[in-house]
Amino acid sequence: MPAPKRFSVKRRRVCKFCAEKITYIDFKDGKLLSHFIPERGKILPRRISGVCSVHQRQLSEAIKRARHMAILPFVSD
């Protein structure tokens, strides 16, 4: 007789910015933005970062602005 299947309960991810009621993502806050960039320097997708679609668009725009202002690197070595 095979072992019974174990079901894991998937917890719904809550957007970090919605939970903290952040309306504007500031591009000058490099420490906050660095959480959404891995060591390769790419922007994390929504399904991995757990951010809602509205904040993901704001986040990617803020990261791009921070890169142009040399707050964040384009790529890391």
At residue 4, φ and ψ (nearest 5 deg) are: -70, 145
Residue 37 near residue 63, CB atoms below 8 Å = yes
pLDDT over 90 at 16, yes or no = yes
Domain total in the chain: 1
Does the pLDDT of residue 8 top 80, yes or no?
Answer: no
**Does residue 21 fall inside a structural domain?**
yes
Indicate whether 5 belongs to any domain: no
Q: Give the domain extent around 39.
A: 16-68
**Domain-located, residue 4:** no
- Let me know if residue 61 belongs to a domain: yes
Is residue 40 domain-resident? yes
Over residues 25-34, the pLDDT tens digits come to: 999 999 999 9
Tokens matching residue 24: 């504007």
The whole-number average pLDDT for the span 13-19 is 92
Nearest to 62 by CA among 4, 8, 37, 19: 37
- 60 is a domain residue: yes
Give residue-wise pLDDT tens across range 33-71: 999 999 998 999 999 999 999 999 999 999 999 999 999
Whole-number pLDDT of residue 37: 95
- Which CATH number does the domain housing residue 57 bear? 4.10.640.10
| Domain-embedded: residue 43 | yes
